[in-house]
C-alpha cells in the first residue's frame, strides 16, 4: 500500500521540478536586443608570406586584401 503512494509522490515531485525550471531560450529573448555589428571593420595589419614553386612571391597584406572584393562562391 505504501509503495504506490510513494511512487505517486515521486512522480508528482518530478513533474513539479520539470515545470518550475526556467527556460533558457525565453530568458535570452526577454533581454534587451543586441546592437548590430558595425558596418565597416578595420582590417588588422597582416602580412602572409607566399612561396610559389620554392620562389618567394608578393606577400598578402592588408592593402592587398582591401583592394580585392569578396567572392562568396
Q: For position 44, what pLDDT does the model report?
A: 77
Check residue 15 and report its DSSP letter. Answer: H
| Tens digits of residue pLDDT in 40-63 | 777 678 899 999 999 999 999 988
The grid coordinates of residue 5 equal: 503512494
Supply the mean pLDDT for the chain: 81
Position 1 pLDDT exceeds 60:
no
Q: What is the mean pLDDT of residues 17-36?
A: 70
Contact (CB, 8 A) for 51 and 61: no
Domain boundaries, the chain: 44-68
Residue 29 pLDDT exceeds 80: no
Amino acid at each position: 500500500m505504501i509503495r504506490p503512494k510513494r511512487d505517486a509522490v515521486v512522480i508528482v515531485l518530478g513533474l513539479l521540478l520539470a515545470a518550475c525550471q526556467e527556460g533558457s531560450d525565453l530568458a535570452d529573448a526577454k533581454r534587451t536586443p543586441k546592437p548590430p555589428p558595425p558596418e565597416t571593420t578595420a582590417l588588422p595589419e597582416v602580412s602572409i608570406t607566399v612561396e610559389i614553386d620554392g620562389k618567394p612571391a608578393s606577400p598578402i597584406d592588408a592593402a592587398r586584401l582591401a583592394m580585392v572584393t569578396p567572392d562568396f562562391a
